Structure 1
Amino acid sequence: MKTINFAIDLGTTNSLIAKYDDGNIKIYNNPLGLKQTLPSCIAFRGNRTVIGDKALDYLEKDAENICMLFKRKMGTQDTYFVPSIDKEMSPIELSSLILKELKNFVNDEEVLDSVVITIPASFDTIQSNATKKAGYLAGFKEVVLLQEPIAACLAFANTSNIEVTDKQNWIVYDFGGGTFDVALVEVNDRELKVTDNLGDNYLGGADFDNLIVEHLIVPFIEDKLSLTNLWKDLKSKTTNFKGLYFELLKISEEAKKELSHYEETEIEIDIDVNGENFYEQFIIKREQFEDLISSRVEQTITFIQDVIKNNQLLNSQIDRVILIGGTTYVPLIKKRIADAIGVEVDSSIDPTSAVVHGAAYFAGSKPATVIEIEEKEVENTISETIDFKLFYEQNTRDLEELITCKVNSGDVNSYRIMRKDGGYDSGVKTLDDDTFSEFVPLLEGRLNPFKIQLLNDALDVLKVIDTVAINQGSYNVQGQPLPNDICMEVDDLDASTTRLDLVFAKGSILPLKKKIYKTASKTILRQSKSNLIINIIEGKSKGLPSSGLSIGYIEIFGKDLEEDLIKGTDIEIEIEVTESRDLKINVFLQSCDQEFKNVFSESERAISINKINMEINTVLGDVEELIKTNNSEENFEYSHQLENIRVGLIETQIAASLINDDDVSDAKFQLDDRKRKLIQNFDDLTRNKLIAQEIEEYNESKSNLEYHLNKEENERFQEKYTRIIKNEREVINSGNKYLIRSKIKELDELYDSIIQSSDENFITYFLHMKFVTEFINQRKADKLLKQGDEALEKKDYKSLRHIVYGLSALLPDYEKEKQKKFKDDSRTGLG
C-alpha cells in the first residue's frame, strides 16, 4: 500500500515541505541557500518569477511587483495587480506558485502526486476549498487537508519523551504569521483527539508588523517629511505607495524579531518617497513594542480562557500549553499565558517546523488514493466479486496489532498474512465462520506494510488485499473535528420565518454523512416559477440564517420537475462532508421520482466596505430600538450589554469608512470578521432573552394544564401529559427556542383537549374573553359577551361553550397577517 508521505505547511509568512520515511521525518532544505523555510513571497520580474528569499531581496528595489501575505485573503475575491506582467493574481494562484516551488525541494525519484497540506483549525469551508484548489493548480492529483493544531500535537507527542498513562488535556496555542488558533486536545496512551477549538483567521504576527509601521514608523516619517495621511496612502492600490507599504512591513518584521531577543533595536529606514531618498535611523524599545501588541496578546488569552470555560474545565485540569508558530518567540506571549493560566507553558518543540513535522507523520499513515496505471491494470485482474470488511489500527504504540477480517464469499475458505519486508508470514490458515483475527508483529518505529491473500480450497489466490499498513510508535489522531456547525435553512411556519436546522455539530469528526427527511412546506407546480431551496450554512445552529456562511445551495424550480411537488410530500436529503471539507448534497423527491445532486467546493467569497456598512446598518436599528425599550423598563444591565455591541458596530463602521475598497492590507477582512462576531453576540444576547421568555411561557402553560389535569383526574390525559414532559429538562437546557416552542404547543393542545372535554371548563375561557380589548366586529362581540353573562348566571354551560366559539371567531388573526408576509418566495419549501 502506498501512503501519501509528503506534507506541506503552507504558511502566511513561511512555508515548508517534509516527508515521512519509515518512522523518520525529513524536512527538505531549499537547494538555494539550504534553509528549511521558504518565505511565502513572490517577485515578478517580467518573464521571470522569483520565489522565497530572493523575492524578499527585491522589496527594496521593486516592491510593487512583490506579492506576500496572500494566505490571509484565501477564499476571497481579492486579487493582487502585478504591473510587470499587467495581470491580476488571485491568492489561489499565488499559493500554487509557492507549492510548486516546494515541490522543487524534493529530488526523490518517486513522483509527488499526493500531499497533505495544513490549514488553520478555524479556516471555514470556503478557505479550505481555496487551499485545495491551490494544491491541484500546483499539479498535485490528491490533496488532503490537516488542521495545524492536530499536526503540531502529533509532532510533540511523537518526538517528546513524555509518558502519558492517564488522560490529559493539552492546549495547543498556535500563533503564526497570519492566523491564530487555540485547540483543546485530549490525549491518552494511544491517540489524540481535538475536542474544541477557537481562532481568528485575521490575527497573526503580520498584525504586529502592521502596528509597528502604523504607530511608530509612519509617524516618524510623517514628522520628518511633513506628510499627512501616509498610512492610508501606503495601503492603497491607486497610489504610488503600495511597494513602500510592503518594504516597511519587512523592516518592522526584522525589528520584531530583534525585540524578541533584545531590549531595544535600531531601525534603519532607507526608502524613496515621492521621488526623493529618505534615510534615517531611530530606536524602538521592547517596552514600546509590548504596549503596542498587548491588546492583541490579551485577545489570545481570552481565546484560551473561553475554550477552557466552554468545556467545563478548570485551569488546573490543563496539563500543558504547547506553543507553536513563529510569533510565539515574542517573550510577552509566554509570560502572559503563564500568568493568566498558571500551567506549564511548553516551548520545547521548534515552533516554525512543528506543523510540517506532525503533518508528515499524518501523511505517513494516510493511504494515497492516486494509483498508477500499472497498479490499476494489476488490480483489474483480481476478482472484484469478493466482498470483505477489514478492521485494524493504522497507528499503534504496541509491538503487535490485531487484524480482523470478515469475508462475504463462499469461495474463500483460507487466508495468509505476510509482512512485506519478509519478516513475518502467518502461513495459510482456515477461516473460522468466514472470519479471521490475527495478531501480527510490528517493527519498532516504522511503517509496517502487509499483504493479505484470500484463497480457495485448492489454495488458489482469489483476492490480494494490499492496502494494510500499520505505523508503529506513532500517535494516532482521532479524525479531524468540524470547526463550526453545519446547518440547513428550513421554514418555521409558526414564526413565519426561516431558521437553521442542525445537521452536523461543531466538533463532529470528519468525514460525516447523514440522511435527513423533510416535507414540502409549499406546493410547487410543474413548469411554475416556484422553487425549492436547499441551503447549507456553516455557522452557529442557534443563530440567524443570515449570520452564517452559505457553503452549498441547490435551487429546484417548477420547470425542473416532471410531476407536481405537493405540500406535505416527503423529501429525502443526503448530506456528506469529506475529510477535506468537500460538501456533497443529494436531494430525492419521492413523489416526482427525481434526484438532484451536486458537489460544492466554493473557493471565493466577496467582501466590500459597502456590504459591511449595509449589514451593520441593518442590525444597528434593532440594537438601538432594544436599548431604548430596556432603558424605559429600567433594565439597565441588559441595556449596557446592548450598548457595548452598539459601540462596537459604530466603531467598526467608522474604521470601515476610513479605508478604501482598493486597500491592499487585511483591514477590510478583519473588519468583516469583527462585524460578524458583533452580530453573533447580538444574536446570542437577544436569543437568550427570547429563550427566557419561552421558558416562562412554557412554565405558565404547564401550570395552567396541571391545574385542570388535577381537576379532571382523567387517566388518558395524565398519560399524555407524562409523555410530553418526559424530556423536559433536556429541551429546556438545549437553549433551542424552536424545541421549547414545540413543547409549549403540545401542552397547549392538551390543555385545549381537557377544556373541551367538559362544558363547565368554558367558564375560564369566557372570563378571559371579557378582558380582550380588540375584536373584528365589536358590536357583535358585545352582544355575545352579554349573552355569555346571562348563560353564566343561569349555569347554562352548553350555551356558554358556543358563545366562546363565536367570540373566538371574532378575534383578530395576527398569525394570518404574519403568514401573509411570509410569502412562498420567502420560503425554502422545507418543513
Structure 2
Amino acid sequence: MKYINVGIDLGTTNSAIATYENGKVIIHKNPLNLKETLPSAVAMRKDKYIVGDKALSLLQTRPGIVQMNFKRLMGANARSLQKQIDPVRLSQAVIEELLRFRESGTSSAVVTIPASFDTIQSNATKEAARRAGLEEVVLLQEPIAACLAYANAEGTEFAKEDKWLVYDYGGGTFDVALVQMRNGILDVIDHEGDNYMGGKDIDQDIVRDLICKPIENETGKEKLYEQLIHQEDAAGMSSFISYAEEAKKILSLQNEYTFEVYSEQLDIDTDVTITKAEIDQIMMIHFNRSYHLIEKLLDKNNLSFEGINRIVLVGGTTYIPLIRKQLKEKSQTIVDTTMDPTTAIVLGAAYYAGSVETKLEEATPDQIETVKKNERVDLQLVYETQSNDEEELILGKTDSKKAKFYQITNVDGFDSGLKEFSNKFSAFVPLEKKMQNLFKVQLFDKRQQTIGSIQEVKISQGLYRINGQPLPADISIELDGDGGETLLESIFTKNKILPLKRSIYKKASKSILKNSGDKLIINILEGASGNSAASNLTIGYIEIRSDKMSQDLVKGLDIQLDFQISESRDLTINISIPSIGYSDFQVFNPSKNPINYDKIIAEIQSYINRINQEKYEEENTDNRESVIRELHSIQNELVTLYGVAIENQNDIQTDILYRIDDDKRTLVQRFDRLLNHRNILEELENLKAAKTHYLQNAAFADENQKVQFEDFLSKEHELINSNNKNLIKSKAAELEQLANDAFNNNPKRYQDIFFALLLKVRGDKIKDKKRWDELSMKGREVSKEGNYIELKYIVSEMAAICELPKRSASDSGPEISKKSLGIE
C-alpha cells in the first residue's frame, strides 16, 4: 500500500511543497536561498519562464514582464501585456519550480485550493498540476489543510469536541470555515468565502486613496489611478503596489511614513506621507468585509462566538496587527497564533497526502516474481487506523495451512520476532505519538521461509484526520417551468461530503428524429439551487444527440441521468434512455470561464429595472416596508456596480472584471432570496395536491416511479421547511408529472377521464353539442363493457370538441389535458 505523501500549497502570493515521511512533515526549501516558500511570480523572457525570487528581482528593471496574483484569474481568460495570458500556464510554471525542490521525482500530489473555488477554478488548478507533470492530482480545500496542520502540530492538546473557525485571509482570497473536532475527526460543517478579497485588494486601495489622490491634489494631475490600470505596460502599477506593501509593513511599527514616488512615464517625482490612522482606516474596511462573512456563517448555523473554541489564522494578511487585534476584540475568542500562517496550509496538505493511497503504484517485476514463487496467502488483518493509546492491537487470520509463524516490524526498530500461531493471531504494537506508524506483517512456513506478500498496517497515533471534503455549492440542472420561466433542480446540495452519486429520471421535453442533427440540451449549474439561473455559474451542458440514437426519441420518454462527483470535483454523467437503447457517458471538467462583459452590464441593467417593478408589486403585501427597504439597498448596490463596470471596462491591469461578475451574482442571489417568500403557501398547497394525486395512483406506479417517490418522501420535510418558493414549485411540478405517469399505467384511466369530462365541462364550453351527446351515450356503453381501448378514442374526440377544464390546486381527480390524453 503506497501513499501520495506530497502536498503543494499553490498560493496567490507564495507557494510551497512538503512531504510526509516516516510520520513527520518536511517542508522542502528552495535550494538556491533555503526559503520554505516560493513567491508565486513568473517572468516571461522570450520562451523562458523565470519563477519566484528571480522573477521578483526583475520588477525593478523589467516590471512589464512579471506576472503575479494570477491565482485569482484561475479559470479565466485574462488580458494583459497586449496578449492573452493563461493563468493555468503560469501556475504550471510555479508547480514545476516547486517540484525541483525535491530530490526525487514526483508523479502524485495533493494540491490545495480555496474552499470557495468553483468547479471551473478547481479544474483549472488540476490542469496546471497535470501540465507540470503530475499524473495524479488530488485537491484539498485550504481550511481543511490548515486545521490538519494546527491539530497535528507537536505539543498541541485539544478537547475531544471543539469547534473552530478557520480565518484564511491570503494575498488574493478569503475563506472562513466552521470546523467540528470530534474524537480525532475533523468535520467541515460550513464555509463562506470571497475569491476576490485579499491583501492585494488592500494594496490597490492604498494605491488609489493614499498615494494617487494626494499626488493628484498636489500636482493637479487627473485620474492617475485610472491611468495605471489602463496602461498596457504593468510597470507603473507594479511600482505603486510596491510602495503600498512597504507602507503596510513600516506603519505596523510607527505612526507616519514618508517616501518618494517617482515615475518617468507618468511625469511624477514627489513625496507622499501616509499615517497609521489612514492606512488603518482602509484595513478596517476590508476587515469588516471579512467579519461580515464570519457573522453570516455563524448566523446560518445558529451559532455565536460563545460556541467557538478557537480561531485559527491562515494566510499572510493575518500577520497585520490590526486584523489580529480586531478579530480578538470582536470575537472574545482565542485567536491561535502558534503557527506560521504562511506554511500552515502546505503542512496540512502533506499530512493529508500521507493518508491518501495512490492509484498509480503497481507491483514491480521483482515483487511479481516473489509472489509467483511463494504461495498466494489470504491474510486478513483487523486493527484501528486511528488511536490515542500508546499501543494498539492487530488481529490476523488466514486459512493457509502452510502459515506457521508471523512477524511484525516497523522502520523505528520494533520487531516482534517470529511468533508461532495457528490460523489466528493477536499482537500489541507500540505507537509513536503524534505520527502515523507504519508496520509490516509477514507470514512464514514451518521452515521459517516467507510465504505470501508483505502486508502494510498504518495506524495514526493522536493525529486528526478529515471526514471527507464538503461540496462548496449546489450542483443543479435547469428545467423549463410554466410561463417561460426556468427552474433549477438540485442534484447535489452544498456541504454534502464528497464523493457523491445520484440517479434521477426525467421526461424528454421534445421529440427528436435520429440523425436529424437535433439534440436535447440540459444546462448544469453551480451555485444556490433555490435562486435563478442568472445567479449561478454554468459549468456544462448535458447533450442527448440524434447522431447517437438508433431510434427516434419520442417526447415523454423516460431519461435516466446518473451523476457522480469525485472528491476532487470531477463530474461525470451517464445518460440512458432504455426504451430506445440510447446510452452515453459525459465528463465535465471545464477549466475556463470566458466572460462576456457586455452581457454582465446588460444583466445589471435588467435587474435594476426589474427591481422597480418588484417594488410596485410589494406595495400590496403585508411586509412591504422591510422588503422594499432591502430592494432599495440591492438596487443602489447594483447602480454602484453598474458605474464601476462602465468605469473599468478597459481595465487590463487588475481582475476587477471578474470581481464585478462575482458581485453581480451575489446581488442577484440576495434578490432571489428576498422574493422567494411570495406565494409560498400556494406552492405548498400545490405540492400537497400533487402528493395526493400520486398516492391515488400509486398502485399503478412502476419500479422507477416508486423509487422517485421514495426519494421525494426522504426529502419532503427538508423541502417544506426550506421556504424556497422556486424549489417547492419545481418539486410540485415533478411530483405532478410522476402522478400522471403512474395514472397512465392504469388501463382504466380513460374511464375516470370520461366521467370527469361529463361532470366538469359546462355546456357553453362544448363546440358541437349533438356530437358530444352521441359520444357521451356511446362512452357509457363501452365503459360498462370494459372496452377501454374504444373508450380512449371516444375521450380523445370529446376533448377535441370542448374547452378542457383547468385543474385547480384542490382538485384530486385525474388531470384532463391534451398531454394526459396523449393527443398533444
Contact kept in structure 1, 2:23 and 2:437, CA below 8 Å = no
- Opposite residue 315 of structure 2, the aligned amino acid is G
Contact kept in structure 1, 2:405 and 2:448, CA below 8 Å = no
How do residues 565-576 of structure 1 correspond to structure 2 at under 5 angstroms? Answer: 565-576=553-564
The equivalent residue for 1:117 is 111
Contact kept in structure 1, 2:120 and 2:589, CA below 8 Å = yes
Matched, 1:617 2:605: yes
Matched, 1:340 2:330: yes
- SS, match of residue 280 in structure 1: strand
Matched, 1:639 2:639: no
Matched, 1:363 2:359: no
Label 1:4 to 1:46 Cα distance change in 2 as closer, same or farther (>3 A): same
Contact kept in structure 2, 1:191 and 1:476, CA below 8 Å = yes
Identity %, equivalent residues: 38
The one of 259, 264, 273 aligned to 2:256: 264
Contact kept in structure 1, 2:312 and 2:337, CA below 8 Å = yes
The equivalent residue for 1:712 is none
| Residues 586-595 or 187-196, more deviating | 586-595
Label 1:406 to 1:571 Cα distance change in 2 as closer, same or farther (>3 A): farther
| Residues 448-457 or 607-616, more deviating | 448-457
User: For 1:84-114, what per-residue CA distance to the aligned partner results, in whole angstroms no more than 9, with x for missing partners?
Assistant: xxx64311111111112222223x3x32222
| Residues 293-302 or 265-274, more deviating | 265-274
The one of 167, 180, 200 aligned to 1:206: 200
C-alpha distance in 2 between matches for 1:54 and 1:25: 27
C-alpha distance in 1 between matches for 2:291 and 2:351: 29
The equivalent residue for 1:787 is none
Deviation at 1:208, TM superposition (A): 0.2
C-alpha distance in 1 between matches for 2:569 and 2:161: 29
Deviation at 1:695, TM superposition (A): 3.7
User: For 1:501-533, what per-residue CA distance to the aligned partner results, in whole angstroms no more than 9, with x for missing partners?
Assistant: 322221122222333344434433322344233
User: For 1:4-57, what per-residue CA distance to the aligned partner results, in whole angstroms no more than 9, with x for missing partners?
Assistant: 222221111111222222232222332333322222112234465432223223
Contact kept in structure 1, 2:15 and 2:37, CA below 8 Å = yes
Contact kept in structure 2, 1:211 and 1:293, CA below 8 Å = no
C-alpha distance in 1 between matches for 2:525 and 2:392: 41
| Residues 416-425 or 557-566, more deviating | 416-425
Matched, 1:591 2:579: yes
C-alpha distance in 2 between matches for 1:142 and 1:119: 16
Matched, 1:103 2:99: yes
The one of 528, 531, 548 aligned to 1:540: 528
The equivalent residue for 2:786 is none
Matched, 1:399 2:387: no
The equivalent residue for 2:69 is 69
- SS, match of residue 550 in structure 1: strand
The equivalent residue for 1:156 is 150
Matched, 1:58 2:47: no
- Opposite residue 246 of structure 1, the aligned amino acid is S
Contact kept in structure 1, 2:184 and 2:464, CA below 8 Å = yes
C-alpha distance in 2 between matches for 1:765 and 1:571: 34
The equivalent residue for 2:40 is 40
- SS, match of residue 213 in structure 2: helix
- SS, match of residue 612 in structure 1: helix
Deviation at 1:567, TM superposition (A): 4.0
The one of 499, 503, 515 aligned to 1:515: 503
Unaligned runs of at least 5 residues, structure 2: 693-711, 774-794, 809-818, 820-824
How do residues 636-675 of structure 1 correspond to structure 2 at under 5 angstroms? Answer: 636-675=625-664
The equivalent residue for 1:177 is 171
The one of 392, 404, 414 aligned to 1:423: 414
Q: TM-score, normalised by structure 1?
A: 0.80
Contact kept in structure 1, 2:517 and 2:545, CA below 8 Å = yes
Matched, 1:295 2:285: yes
The one of 211, 224, 243 aligned to 2:235: 243
- SS, match of residue 235 in structure 1: helix
C-alpha distance in 1 between matches for 2:207 and 2:545: 53
- Opposite residue 531 of structure 1, the aligned amino acid is K
The equivalent residue for 1:353 is 343
Deviation at 1:612, TM superposition (A): 1.1
Deviation at 1:690, TM superposition (A): 3.8
C-alpha distance in 1 between matches for 2:79 and 2:401: 60
The equivalent residue for 1:677 is 666
The equivalent residue for 1:828 is none
Deviation at 1:596, TM superposition (A): 1.1
Contact kept in structure 2, 1:563 and 1:591, CA below 8 Å = no
- Opposite residue 258 of structure 1, the aligned amino acid is I
How do residues 209-608 of structure 1 correspond to structure 2 at under 5 angstroms? Answer: 209-236=203-230, 239=231, 241-274=233-266, 276=267, 278-371=268-361, 375=364, 378-379=367-368, 382=371, 394-401=385-392, 416=406, 418-421=408-411, 423-425=414-416, 427=419, 429=421, 440-452=429-441, 464=453, 466=455, 468-492=457-481, 497-608=485-596
- SS, match of residue 365 in structure 1: coil
C-alpha distance in 2 between matches for 1:186 and 1:14: 28
C-alpha distance in 1 between matches for 2:733 and 2:645: 39
C-alpha distance in 1 between matches for 2:366 and 2:524: 40
The equivalent residue for 1:626 is 614
- SS, match of residue 32 in structure 1: coil
C-alpha distance in 1 between matches for 2:627 and 2:558: 43
C-alpha distance in 2 between matches for 1:608 and 1:500: 23
User: For 1:583-630, what per-residue CA distance to the aligned partner results, in whole angstroms no more than 9, with x for missing partners?
Assistant: 222223322334311332211111232121122234333322111222
- SS, match of residue 2 in structure 1: coil
Number of residues of Structure 1 aligned to a counterpart in Structure 2: 753
Deviation at 1:668, TM superposition (A): 0.9
Label 1:778 to 1:328 Cα distance change in 2 as closer, same or farther (>3 A): farther
C-alpha distance in 1 between matches for 2:548 and 2:167: 50
C-alpha distance in 2 between matches for 1:197 and 1:728: 25
Deviation at 1:541, TM superposition (A): 2.2
C-alpha distance in 2 between matches for 1:488 and 1:459: 62
The one of 141, 153, 157 aligned to 1:147: 141
- Opposite residue 590 of structure 2, the aligned amino acid is E
Deviation at 1:375, TM superposition (A): 2.4
C-alpha distance in 1 between matches for 2:55 and 2:677: 52
The equivalent residue for 1:22 is 22
| Residues 243-252 or 516-525, more deviating | 516-525
Label 1:76 to 1:191 Cα distance change in 2 as closer, same or farther (>3 A): same
Label 1:375 to 1:176 Cα distance change in 2 as closer, same or farther (>3 A): same
Label 1:730 to 1:658 Cα distance change in 2 as closer, same or farther (>3 A): closer
- Opposite residue 463 of structure 2, the aligned amino acid is S
Contact kept in structure 2, 1:424 and 1:441, CA below 8 Å = no
- Opposite residue 115 of structure 2, the aligned amino acid is A
- Opposite residue 36 of structure 1, the aligned amino acid is E
Q: TM-score, normalised by structure 2?
A: 0.80
- Opposite residue 266 of structure 1, the aligned amino acid is T
Deviation at 1:286, TM superposition (A): 1.7
The equivalent residue for 2:128 is 134
C-alpha distance in 2 between matches for 1:47 and 1:701: 64
Label 1:579 to 1:612 Cα distance change in 2 as closer, same or farther (>3 A): same
- Opposite residue 689 of structure 1, the aligned amino acid is R
Label 1:41 to 1:702 Cα distance change in 2 as closer, same or farther (>3 A): closer
Unaligned runs of at least 5 residues, structure 1: 704-723, 785-801, 816-823, 825-831
Contact kept in structure 2, 1:266 and 1:282, CA below 8 Å = yes
Deviation at 1:158, TM superposition (A): 1.3
Deviation at 1:325, TM superposition (A): 1.0
C-alpha distance in 2 between matches for 1:122 and 1:587: 29
- SS, match of residue 11 in structure 2: coil
C-alpha distance in 1 between matches for 2:138 and 2:100: 20
- SS, match of residue 93 in structure 1: helix
